[in-house]
A and B are shown apart, each in its own frame.
Chain A
Amino acid sequence: MSLKRKVRGKRIMKTTILEAQHVSAWYGSHRAVQDINVAVKTGDVLALIGPSGCGKSTFLRCLNRMHEEIDSTRVEGRVFYKGEDIYADNVDPVAVRSAIGMVFQKPNPFPTLTVAENVAAGLRLRGGFSRAEIESRVETALRRSALWDEVKNKLRAPGTSLSGGQQQRLCIARALAVQPEILLMDEPTSALDPISTGRIEELMTELKKSVTIVIVTHNMQQAARISDQTAFFLMGKLVEHGETSQIFNAPAREETENYISGRFG
């Protein structure tokens, strides 16, 4: 599956980088996510929207095999990352998470590490980077998450000494430092003030040039602003998926229309 698009005269090949096929997920005996089929193209931002409890976060966590870390959970189906099924028997979840990064709803920097150490954490785990390499990667990551200017003089400060919005950008930098191809974001701005939210949305438009993003959001306006594709979830099922402009202006399904127009939330 590929689409050719013209951007400033250049032709860009859009390939599918992530594809979920018949993905279902359980908490114990409760099926939270049912038979989801969705593909994500390289360089796109895919927004997952839907009311609380509809399974969008659960589904997101199936994409980097985080869902199974919770007790008594189960996942069925396949998720292809560049053609390789991440749920295949011989695949180590640790490897999956090095290629598919995640940012969580509430900022969670490591409290005992400095700003720089937080960003470098993933690199240190992998090992084999020289001091200089780590420093330059840390700077790059902080620049990509629009935090460098604010923290360049306090790289040695504890990670938790930053404000909420800054901490979240720190977590984004931390995820970016290992250079994942895909970044999963689970309502990354819902715990932040509007200004921090705006800054993170700004940096995402830059970020998508180098990283594919799948973002779960409660905020429809946010989805409409920043995403290329949108998928609407309802009660564990994928109701509709398409170009963001189409979903928001001319939804095909009645449920989507109802949700968009705020008839239920």
Chain B
Amino acid sequence: MSEGLPRVQRRRHFKSVMANAIIAILAGFAILPLILVFSYIARAGLPALNLDFFYKLPAPAGELGGGMANAIAGSLLMVVMSGLMAIPPGLLCGLYVAEFPNQKLALALRFVIDLLTGVPSIVIGLFAYAVLVVPMGGFNAWAGSAALAIIMLPVVSRTTEEILRLIPGQLREAGLALGLPRWKVLLRLIIRAGRSAIATGVFLAIARASGETAPLLFTSFNNQYWTKSLSEPVASLPVQIYTYAISPYEEWHRLAWAGSLVLVSVVFAINLLSRLLLKRGAK
């Protein structure tokens, strides 16, 4: 009979400690860019941010002053439009795929939606260009909104589908047993049950659409002035940031930083709010 506990080999113990440390460091590397990017945008954008930014139009190239009022308004406009175009169909698509999984059409829809989530946003811009810019004879807000809508719809559909799948079948059975028609069960009962999570999904889709640039580059294009009609090009915050960032003018760089700060803040705010909503709703 041997005496006492075996000694753990130092080699193995050391390896484990080192591995744990390396894993922790890698996790740190994962977060580091967040801190770097956010602190840079804050540092560069805050000094450049003033009230002018929010209500003035862009100044001519090289000149001081000016703002991105039209870009902010344009983004708001297109996000609202695309939201109206994409959210109701997105919800219904998610509902359809989740509640009728046996129908071949639902499976096909699921596949298409999955495909769409993988399509690069610039290709979606090409889609919108072909369908709305060419026939309308030029860049316009409809095309931009449509492009954003195509991006939003799969996101809304996917999250709705996932949430509805989590809702237990008993709820549906209970509703049907009460004599309600299926559509009432689904719309009134089931969607209500998942409404905070679904709302979160919708908000996230909106946040995503607000930050998109590529599909707008040749759909809504850009506009140095206020847009008078939806069939004209319209400025948007991301596109304006991009245009100014790659320009050679110092002043425009400053505006680009300010714009980035505003954009990131808005996107983060929507994200955080929707999470808070989720937590509240889960209670």
Residues of A within 8 A of B (CB): 42, 81-84, 86, 91-92, 94-96, 98-99, 125-127, 181
In the complex, are the beta carbons of A82 and B4 less than 8 A apart? yes
Interface of B, helix, strand, loop or mixed by DSSP: loop
Chain A CB within 8 A of B104 CB: no
Whole-angstrom distance between the alpha carbons of A126 and B12 in the complex? 8
Q: Can you list 28 contacts pairing A with B, beta carbon distance less than 8 Å?
A: A42-B1, A81-B4, A82-B1, A82-B3, A82-B4, A82-B5, A84-B4, A84-B5, A86-B5, A91-B5, A92-B8, A92-B13, A94-B12, A94-B13, A95-B5, A95-B6, A95-B7, A96-B5, A98-B6, A98-B8, A99-B5, A99-B6, A125-B12, A126-B9, A127-B9, A127-B12, A181-B1, A181-B2
Name the interface residues of B1-30: CB closer than 8 Å to any CB of A: 1-9, 12-13
- Other than the given A95-B6, A95-B8, A96-B5, 7 more pairs (CB < 8 A) read A82-B4, A84-B5, A95-B5, A98-B8, A125-B12, A127-B12, A181-B1
Whole-angstrom distance between the alpha carbons of A98 and B8 in the complex? 9
Closest to A100 in B: B5
Which residues on B sit within 8 Å (CB–CB) of A92? Answer: 8, 13
Which residues on B sit within 8 Å (CB–CB) of A84? Answer: 4-5
Closest to A82 in B: B4
Which residues on B sit within 8 Å (CB–CB) of A181? Answer: 1-2
Closest to B3 in A: A82
Which residues on A sit within 8 Å (CB–CB) of B3? Answer: 82
- The minimal Cβ–Cβ distance linking A262 to chain B, given in whole angstroms, is 36
Whole-angstrom distance between the alpha carbons of A91 and B4 in the complex? 11
Whole-angstrom distance between the alpha carbons of A96 and B7 in the complex? 9
From known contacts A92-B13, A94-B13, infer whether A81 and B8 are also in contact, taking CB-CB under 8 Å: no
Whole-angstrom distance between the alpha carbons of A158 and B9 in the complex? 30
Which residues on B sit within 8 Å (CB–CB) of A98? Answer: 6, 8
Whole-angstrom distance between the alpha carbons of A209 and B13 in the complex? 33
Whole-angstrom distance between the alpha carbons of A95 and B9 in the complex? 9
Which residues on B sit within 8 Å (CB–CB) of A91? Answer: 5
- The minimal Cβ–Cβ distance linking A2 to chain B, given in whole angstroms, is 13
Which residues on A sit within 8 Å (CB–CB) of B7? Answer: 95
Whole-angstrom distance between the alpha carbons of A245 and B7 in the complex? 38
- The minimal Cβ–Cβ distance linking B12 to chain A, given in whole angstroms, is 7
Identify which of B1, B2, B8 contacts A94 (C-beta below 8 A): B8
Which residues on A sit within 8 Å (CB–CB) of B9? Answer: 126-127
Whole-angstrom distance between the alpha carbons of A37 and B221 in the complex? 79
Which residues on B sit within 8 Å (CB–CB) of A96? Answer: 5
Which residues on A sit within 8 Å (CB–CB) of B8? Answer: 92, 94-95, 98
Whole-angstrom distance between the alpha carbons of A94 and B6 in the complex? 9
- The minimal Cβ–Cβ distance linking A155 to chain B, given in whole angstroms, is 26
- The minimal Cβ–Cβ distance linking A44 to chain B, given in whole angstroms, is 15
Which residues on A sit within 8 Å (CB–CB) of B4? Answer: 81-84
Which residues on A sit within 8 Å (CB–CB) of B5? Answer: 81-82, 84, 86, 91, 95-96, 99
